[in-house]
A and B are shown apart, each in its own frame.
Chain A
């Protein structure tokens, strides 16, 4: 029989931690607990953990430090979800550091269970699911031809992460949370192409601080070849980001 998924809850507030643990146990998960980053790291080192749900602000060793240490052990595992209050950390930075989702305080049970169950789906399974949400997705492709029909130079800049990518988009950006279809030249992958659907997690309207304008896109569904290539790429290159902030100036 398959073992129950194991979730580590890290929070210095005992009361909140217990509530979360209770909700998760009732939903059929095995729950481990830790009161700060140090304890949390010790649990991850010593036991099988599939998902970490951690507060950001904690005395002595905070959630951001914990995430950094866990990712230096293994860039792709376990999945990591932040519990945040207003202005603890910005979502694009957290995604860059390797977290993949957020739980807002005060935590609502439905949201907790939804986020946790999503985060526990393994990558390849996640990228194989189809959905009607994809039907009307806007296509983002390489800027291949200009209006004179002449070939334009260069593909879009892509930086790949464990769960998504940074994609440079200068004009006509999608909206945050929009589902987009992608069909792009991606030299980092074996087949040289990246095709599928993704969800926009954040947008950067204008280039700033050395980072080009573009969007952080989480992969939703990938074509077989792209999926296989990406898994291979991640195994080889081990990026720590879930969705990267972007690379050098395009």
Chain B
């Protein structure tokens, strides 16, 4: 995503103490097509500049004797989120080489022997641009290439080995890095491991095999058949557990062999969907699922939906299939399938797909990968990382406006700003027509906003596009109920049951409908089958609160009663929660004796966490009754779907104060991640060399000026330039 050298509009800052050298460097950079060049005379000037202005590429000498040196500047860059985009090239004198590892550790991108000839400088930077392109614009790999050259020259092979290991974990499956790792292992005397790593590189990519053999021959000075080598396997893909589902045993065995050759420690194989689900539902979330679409037993689409419904949203899913019907492809996208591989496939293609999937998950660059990753992060409440990727998504000028509006809408929804989410969604719809994600989102917003009739239209459209999606059917069923069409609601949930009666969401929705339609007997029966009641009680509470909000107190209270009646025999805490909520509703309604009745019932079981709250409320009611004063209720938080998600904790009692999500985006600090700033956090020295330690002793003064823009705005401004 960082196109700093690919795109010559980068803002470049050139530093040198001597004015003639400054002029020469600036000329050289302009000669390469970078026209926005600022020339500065000292490290102090750089920091002053950074306090107020923006830069993409910083070129400077070490400035060892200066007021502020290059290492201090690198450290400052790494510590200030706004500066993480700065890529630094260091021009070093021969006697300054020792500090290079420390400089790379602090986030340096490239190092160049200092020259005072314009042509030499141009040649150096041209070569940098070539490396940059060869590394696909990933500055982490550029920095690794420059550091590697230095470590080889200095014969610091142990340091190189730790660099390569660390890089591989950030770029899993990269054959190039595997070859480098193998080389580093051989150079540090790890003969067995080295040969094994080179062998694996050859297995993953035919092209790498020849190179690996040459490398082994050159380093060990012997003819070695890598195929014969049998040792401990490197876990190249970083995948611990993989689940394979295919009815064809030759496919299962073939893929299992491939994965094992890539060092995946645990590969579970199943020849049908039913047994795969049995295993999945009783184990931890695997890292990767590879499934054929047409499988016996529980079908591919239904297995996939159960997996996601089960809360397995981190697991990567690749579909391996020879045919998928057009209207089923929608479902793949909706379920966050990472890639689809056409059968039959060759070994190389298989690995390319898997590695692409893993790398897109680690550091997404494709639009759909970014969307998937952001969706995953939001689902798990990793909001900081999600916001960070959102900024990248919004700043990416390859991505059209419609998907960007949709992304903003999804964040607005997440923060509970439903009106804004709906409007953004509709804007996206006007720009580029409907997509399933959009239909679903706008539908959910409309439900939150109480416009059930409009929501119904959106869910109906979504269902017609993706008829196998159970979530659409469940949403649709509830919408039908809300628009007063109980029969359609039951028909729709019936359709969902036909698709997969054991899907958790289907059971849940059927139960909801039974409570809503007052079929308490049926509801009781269904509730008994649910693994947890928290979710359903949460839903009913939100609904009842929403009803009270629009003045339908009686309906709200009726709903609480129906919920209470539907609870199966062993109520426990769940009963207390409903009773407390009912008590609260009565209080709002002003029916204090009934409220007291409910609260006193809660207090009969002193174990529940709600006891304290019930006591407090009861005391306030008694006080109000005694003194005639008004009862103070704490401001209710805005409705959101937090309770829907949060299955086990007590339902959001309206009294509870909760930090609102609104505005969270502007206050988060963008923490640096591995891979954001070249080798920062990837390459770590055990001990700094003496020169570097001395140069880093002082911490120079640096304060971002309040006048400067916020990072989000800056990225947008940059994109428009």
Contact = CB atoms under 8 A, between A and B. Distances in A.
Nearest to A138: B435
Interface string B327-358: 10110110001011111111101001100100
A90 B254 CA distance: 14
Contact of A176 (B327, B340, B367): B340
Nearest to B254: A86
A153 to B, nearest CB: 15
B248 A86 contact: yes
Interface stretch (A47-55, A199-207, A233-241): A199-207
A147 interface: yes
B399 A177 contact: no
Contact of B329 (A84, A171, A173, A175): A175
Given A87-B347, A93-B346, A171-B367, A102 B322 contact: yes
Given A86-B254, A199-B326, A91 B465 contact: no
A172 B367 contact: yes
Given A177-B329, A199-B326, A205-B352, A172 B368 contact: yes
A43 to B, nearest CB: 25
Nearest to A89: B344
Q: Which of B250, B330, B344, B434 has the most CB of A within 10 A?
A: B344
B719 interface: yes
Contacts of B343: 91, 102, 104
A88 interface: yes
A171 B366 contact: yes
A146 interface: yes
Interface string B246-260: 001011001000000
A208 interface: yes
Interface string A69-81: 0000000000000
A178 interface: yes
B549 interface: no
Contact of B346 (A87, A133, A176, A201): A87
A109 B379 CA distance: 43
A100 to B, nearest CB: 13
Chain A interface residue number, banded: 35 or more
Contacts of B329: 175, 177-179
Most buried by B among A90, A201, A209: A90
B398 interface: yes
Contact of B344 (A90, A177, A179): A90
Contacts of B251: 86
Nearest to A82: B344
B260 to A, nearest CB: 16
B720 interface: yes
A33 interface: no
A209 B207 contact: yes
B467 to A, nearest CB: 12
Given A93-B346, A172-B398, A177 B323 contact: yes
Interface in B342-400: 342-347, 349, 352-353, 356, 366-368, 397-399
A102 B344 contact: yes
B250 A85 contact: yes
A218 to B, nearest CB: 11
A4 B122 CA distance: 72
B177 interface: no
A94 B397 CA distance: 36
A88 B367 contact: no
A105 to B, nearest CB: 8
B326 A176 contact: no
Contacts of A157: none
A172 B366 contact: yes
Interface string A164-176: 0000000111011
A171 B353 CA distance: 16
B250 A173 contact: no
Contacts of A133: 326-327
Contacts of A208: 352
Contact of B465 (A136, A171, A173, A175): A136
A122 to B, nearest CB: 22
Nearest to B292: A104
Interface string A122-163: 000000000101011000000000111000000000000000
A92 interface: yes
B324 interface: yes
B523 to A, nearest CB: 37
Contacts of B337: 175
B345 A147 contact: no
A104 B246 CA distance: 12
A90 B207 contact: no
A92 B341 CA distance: 11
A223 B332 CA distance: 29
A92 B349 contact: yes
B349 A90 contact: yes
Contacts of A87: 254, 344-347
A176 B329 CA distance: 8
A87 B323 CA distance: 16
A147 B324 contact: no
Nearest to B398: A171
A88 B322 CA distance: 14
A91 B345 CA distance: 6
Given A91-B344, A172-B368, A209-B207, A147 B397 contact: yes
B342 A175 contact: no
A90 B345 CA distance: 4
Contacts of A90: 344-346, 349
B401 to A, nearest CB: 8
Contacts of A86: 248, 250-251, 254, 344
A84 B366 contact: no
B366 A177 contact: no
Interface in B306-333: 321-324, 326-327, 329-330, 332-333
Nearest to A103: B322
Nearest to B436: A136
B300 to A, nearest CB: 13
A84 B368 contact: no
B344 A88 contact: yes
Contact of A175 (B340, B344, B434): B340
Contacts of B356: 205-206
- Determine which residue in A88, A104, A208 has the highest number of CB atoms from chain B within 10 A of its CB, and name it: A104
Contacts of A201: 342
A88 B254 CA distance: 12
B628 to A, nearest CB: 63
B156 to A, nearest CB: 32
Contacts of A94: 344
A131 B398 CA distance: 31
A206 B171 CA distance: 15
A136 B465 CA distance: 8
Given A136-B330, A177-B329, A177-B342, 14 more contacts: A90-B345, A91-B342, A91-B343, A91-B344, A91-B345, A94-B344, A104-B322, A133-B327, A136-B465, A147-B719, A172-B368, A175-B339, A175-B368, A176-B340
Interface of A: 84-94, 102, 104-105, 131, 133, 135-136, 146-148, 171-173, 175-179, 199, 201-203, 205-206, 208-209
A-B pairs with lowest CB-CB distance, top 4: A176-B340, A90-B346, A133-B326, A177-B324
27 contacts: A86-B254, A87-B344, A87-B345, A89-B344, A90-B344, A91-B322, A91-B342, A91-B345, A93-B346, A102-B344, A104-B343, A133-B326, A133-B327, A136-B465, A147-B720, A171-B366, A171-B367, A172-B366, A172-B367, A175-B337, A175-B339, A177-B323, A178-B326, A178-B329, A179-B326, A205-B339, A209-B207
